[in-house]
Amino acid sequence: MASLGGFVEFFQKGKLNSKQTFRPKKKFEPGTLKYSLHKQAQASLSSGINLRAVVALPQEENLNDWIAVHVVDFFNRINLIYGTVCEYCTEASCPTMSGGQKFEYLWADGVKYKKATPLPAPQYISLLMDWVEAQINDEHVFPVTVDVPFPKSFIPLCKKILTRLFRVFVHVYIHHFDRIVTIGAEAHVNTCYKHFYYFITEFDLVPQKEFEPLKDMTAKICHDSPEPAVNSEPKK
Q: Pick out the residues of the known binding site.
A: 89, 94, 171, 176
What's the length of the chain? 236
| Beta pairing partners, 118 | 106
The continuous run of DSSP H or E covering 7 comes out as helix 7-10
Contact 42, 5 (CB under 8 A): yes
Contact 128, 75 (CB under 8 A): no
Annotated binding-site residues for Zn(2+) read 89, 94, 171, 176
The answer for 31, left when phi > 0, alpha when psi is -120 to 50, beta otherwise, is: left
Residue 148's contacts (CB-CB under 8 Å, 6 or more residues apart) are 139, 140
Nearest to 94 by CA among 132, 131, 130, 124: 124
